Structure 1
């Protein structure tokens, strides 16, 4: 390990430079990293990379899922729960079924169970790739919320399919009632474990004498502890991490102070930034090892199988996207849906085209054991690994590079965002300032008569000027301002609950501003 340390250090530098280049030329960085890893792997003298599945599942996956759960809006997740669950479960199952049937029919030696193993591996789209692309193009908030929500749940659903298929391959049988019980435990047990441990961590943050550093360390430990606890009892570690992340994210202002929240955001963004970069670089670097494992199948034939499965995945997701819209339009005649306006034909196409594969698919493929419990080699393991790599590479290149073009060309209807984000942001800031003035004048009018600093603070809010001047202020005024900031946070939380159509990202932006204001008081 130490002998190759300079190589890994150089790899990190290359990753940083490539991400900078990707941002400069407005290309999703996973595309460049995979291609760079592939090119580097062919350089003579480069150390061979053998990715252990535990490295992905236990080191990379929990923090990436946890951070994603923290950044998503629970309100948006609940608002679009029907279409999100449709894409995360039904569309994933349809994709896995399509792959299983095609693989069983066209690929020699592939049983239906092996087809479902492959289908479970390649069915979940990668959230990182879609997010990296969408930051360069403007899409309605609704679409980004649906994609974020889908990405949280589709990993769990695909891994459940994968596990059942692995059992069927190993035992050569599939008992439905046992599978149903196992599925229920994985879903509800995983979510329950995540909520329980998340509640315990929330109490630990709140009642233990922690500071910002210990709060951040606790947050770094949380996803690993939850994932391991859930996996030990054979439930879904993915769902456990996601449910815990959603719980803690939705209550972050109850148990974390402003300093912990601000520093925590910076730490987690940096951590996930490098983890994502490493994973996609490792995907490219691992290709020579995967190719060497092909024995009876020729390289050209294996590439053909990978192209076939990629086409099946793209077509099945597109059909499913339009199918979901049709079902929603029919269902609105019988039940209340989140929004009954017709999205047109453009929105389902973009949702269907955001099907790039990545981290979870690689981890699942690598986790296939070399040998079965009976000592026999796992059938078609190397071919499954190679097909998975081809699917990841092609979806990143084809869909990843063309998605920005389609979004700009199609010009999606903005039917779900009636008020422009900047206008909504300005409106909330105005309302927040009005609330602040009313609160100060109602509760601190007597103090204001003899306190010029407090009068100055009131004038600042009247003029909507950001921040406080860098001047020395009394401890009394600091206490008053902290009280005001707490009341403003509560007002924002209430406003967010009352207005179901208000974008929560706007509320969070104001929350972050208030955190910064409170942090500034330490230096005044």
Structure 2
């Protein structure tokens, strides 16, 4: 391990450089990292990175899933629950069936159960890849919310399929009623454990004498505690992390102060940045070892590549059919429920169908397969090619497709500039009313408080003011807390208000509090 330490440091530097390059040339960094890992793997003398398959899930998945849940909006998730649920569960299940049937029919030695193992691995699209690509193009908030929500839940559904298929291959049997009971426990038990552990950590943050450092450490421990607790009772660790993460994210302003939220956010961004980079680089670095394993088993690389391209084709076509199938279902549903759009058009489904890049979860699931498992190297090789094809083909062409077809303006959310202007005006009005109600006498004789009021009057006029400090610090902190509560209530009340804009203002309030406390 220590002998290769300089190599590991070099990989981290390479990740940073490639992500900077991706931002410069406006290419999603997962594409560059996969290709770079592939090129690096062919350099003579490069150490082979090996991770215990049993540790793959627990190292990478809990923090990545927890951060995704923390960043997700419960309001958006609930609003688009129907389409998110259909893509995250129904489409994933149908995709796994399609892959299983095709693999069983065309790949020699692939049983139906082994086909479901492969289907469970490659069925979930990758959130990181889609987010990295969409960063360079503008899409309606509806589409980004659906993609984020889908990616949060489809990992759980695909990994449940993967686990059942692994058991079926190992035991050679599948008893449907036992599987149904186990599935129910995995789902309900996973959600219950996640919420319970989340509640315990919420109380720990509130009751214990924590500071910024201990709060941050507790947030790092939380996803691992959720995952391991759920796995210990044979329920879904993935669902535990997702449900617990959503619960704590929703209550983040009740148990973390502004300083803990700000510094914890910085730590988490760096951690997830590094983990995502390592995973995508590992995808490329693993190929030579997988290829050598195939040769030892007597499997032709040409044939294996053909199988992988066939599975990639099934995944791409399957998602496109699912996206346009959702349009048909929506048209039918519009006659019975008012929330469905009767004329969704073709541009939205076309873009949604093309956002099927695979990545982190697929690789983690494939690498977690035990070494002695049947056809392990072929499953790994097919997974690698699927990730490579979807990332390069769809990842590089998605921005061009979006620019070409021009996504429709759904008008589900206020434009960002209008939302920000509305929030600034309402905060200024609310603050001036609060000062007039609670500090009217001081406003007439205290110069510092007059400056504070003048600051918000300038905000109401669309200009910047000077923040008053000194002996007005306590009053100003109260004002900021009232503003925070106003924003949280406004976010719950107004569906058309984008929660990302609200979070931006909440972040600014946290920064303002931190500046006051440091003075």
Q: TM tier, shorter chain?
A: over 0.9
Matched residue pairs, number? 514
* Contact 1:84-1:149 within 8 A present in 2 as well: yes
The whole-number CA distance in structure 1 between the counterparts of 2:12 and 2:427 is 43
* Contact 2:357-2:395 within 8 A present in 1 as well: yes
The whole-number CA distance in structure 2 between the counterparts of 1:16 and 1:53 is 26
The whole-number CA distance in structure 2 between the counterparts of 1:454 and 1:335 is 53
> Structure 2 matches for 1:215-226, cutoff 5 A?
215-226=215-226
* Contact 1:51-1:282 within 8 A present in 2 as well: no
* Contact 1:448-1:455 within 8 A present in 2 as well: yes
The structural deviation recorded for 1:439 is 1.1
Report Cα offsets for 1:347-379 as digits up to 9, x if no partner: 0111111111111111111222233xxxxxx32
Give the structure 2 partner of residue 102 of structure 1.
102
The whole-number CA distance in structure 2 between the counterparts of 1:351 and 1:472 is 50
User: Alpha carbons of 1:404 and 1:289: their partners in 2 closer, same or farther (altered >3 Å)?
Assistant: same
The whole-number CA distance in structure 1 between the counterparts of 2:492 and 2:239 is 25
Give the structure 2 partner of residue 357 of structure 1.
358
* Contact 1:51-1:286 within 8 A present in 2 as well: no
Which residue among 376, 382, 393 is the counterpart of 1:381? 376
Give the structure 1 partner of residue 510 of structure 2.
515
Report Cα offsets for 1:114-140 as digits up to 9, x if no partner: 111110010011110001000010000
Give the structure 2 partner of residue 146 of structure 1.
146
In structure 2, runs of 5+ residues without a counterpart are none
Give the structure 2 partner of residue 27 of structure 1.
27
Report Cα offsets for 1:2-54 as digits up to 9, x if no partner: 00011111111111000000000000101000110110011011111223334
| Normalised TM-score (structure 1) | 0.96
Secondary structure at 1:393's aligned position in 2?
Answer: helix
| Normalised TM-score (structure 2) | 0.97
Matched, 1:473 2:495: no
Give the structure 1 partner of residue 327 of structure 2.
325
Give the structure 1 partner of residue 284 of structure 2.
284
* Contact 1:190-1:236 within 8 A present in 2 as well: yes
The whole-number CA distance in structure 1 between the counterparts of 2:34 and 2:357 is 12
- Aligned-residue Cα RMSD (Å) equals 1.3
> Structure 2 matches for 1:185-334, cutoff 5 A?
185-294=185-294, 295-334=297-336
Give the structure 2 partner of residue 335 of structure 1.
337
Secondary structure at 1:379's aligned position in 2?
Answer: coil
Matched, 1:346 2:341: no
The whole-number CA distance in structure 2 between the counterparts of 1:53 and 1:439 is 58
Report Cα offsets for 1:138-175 as digits up to 9, x if no partner: 00011110000011100000011111111111222211
The structural deviation recorded for 1:416 is 3.3
The structural deviation recorded for 1:341 is 5.0
The structural deviation recorded for 1:334 is 2.0
The whole-number CA distance in structure 2 between the counterparts of 1:467 and 1:517 is 13
Give the structure 2 partner of residue 374 of structure 1.
none
* Contact 1:117-1:162 within 8 A present in 2 as well: yes
Give the structure 1 partner of residue 435 of structure 2.
440
* Contact 1:467-1:517 within 8 A present in 2 as well: no
Report Cα offsets for 1:300-342 as digits up to 9, x if no partner: 11001000000000000110111122112212222343x4252
The whole-number CA distance in structure 1 between the counterparts of 2:200 and 2:403 is 46
The whole-number CA distance in structure 2 between the counterparts of 1:108 and 1:120 is 19
298-307 or 45-54, larger mean C-alpha shift = 45-54
In structure 1, runs of 5+ residues without a counterpart are 372-377
* Contact 2:211-2:260 within 8 A present in 1 as well: yes
* Contact 2:414-2:498 within 8 A present in 1 as well: no
Give the structure 1 partner of residue 66 of structure 2.
66
Matched, 1:166 2:139: no
Report Cα offsets for 1:270-325 as digits up to 9, x if no partner: 11011100110111101111111112210011001000000000000110111122
432-441 or 215-224, larger mean C-alpha shift = 432-441
Dislocated runs of 4+, deviation >6 Å: none
Matched, 1:415 2:410: yes
297-306 or 43-52, larger mean C-alpha shift = 43-52
* Contact 2:55-2:368 within 8 A present in 1 as well: no
Give the structure 1 partner of residue 112 of structure 2.
112
Matched, 1:392 2:387: yes
Report Cα offsets for 1:220-272 as digits up to 9, x if no partner: 00001111111111111111001111011101111111100111111111110
